[in-house]
Amino acid sequence: MCRRLFPIDKVLYEILTEHTARSFKLHELRVEYSSRVSEGALPPKKELFWLIYMKLFSMEMAKIVGRCEAQDGGNAFYLKSAFWDQPFDIIDGLFSSQMN
């Protein structure tokens, strides 16, 4: 069975694959993403939060990311084993183009 290519922003993909903890919160991802992109490219606005949330939600629907209760409360996301087998279309500046 052929899996469809899943588009993902290059910086977000790097953050997810380099993350040493087993889970991550949306706020942490947004802050990390903002700190990695060039200054002024994507400010840590509400729009960026929702772009990251929608990407993680679609990955959750595709069953390559899961959601669990965080130790300090709230929801946290984690990579399922299917994440590593998923073919991704890694796009540099995907979020930038979606915000324009």
Domain assignment present for residue 26? The answer is yes
As given in the structure block, the two tokens for residue 40 are 């002024």
Domain assignment present for residue 51? The answer is yes
Q: Residue 4: what pLDDT?
A: 76
Please state whether beta strands 6-9 and 88-91 pair in parallel, antiparallel, or not at all (unpaired).
parallel
Domain assignment present for residue 20? The answer is yes
Domain assignment present for residue 81? The answer is yes
Angstrom distance (rounded) from CA 28 to CA 93: 19
Which ranges constitute the DSSP H helices of 1-100? 10-18, 26-36, 46-61, 94-99
Q: Residue 49: what pLDDT?
A: 84
Predicted structure pTM score = 0.84
Q: What CATH number does the domain containing 44 carry?
A: 1.10.10.10
Angstrom distance (rounded) from CA 50 to CA 43: 13
Residue 92 CB partners (closer than 8 Å, separation 6+): 9, 10
How many domains would you assign to the chain?
Answer: 1
Domain assignment present for residue 1? The answer is no
Domain assignment present for residue 57? The answer is yes
Q: Which domain holds residue 68?
A: 6-99
In three-state secondary structure terms, 89 is strand
DSSP secondary structure code for residue 92 in this structure: T
Domain assignment present for residue 79? The answer is yes
Each residue's pLDDT tens digit, 28-64: 888 888 888 765 555 556 788 888 999 999 999 999 9
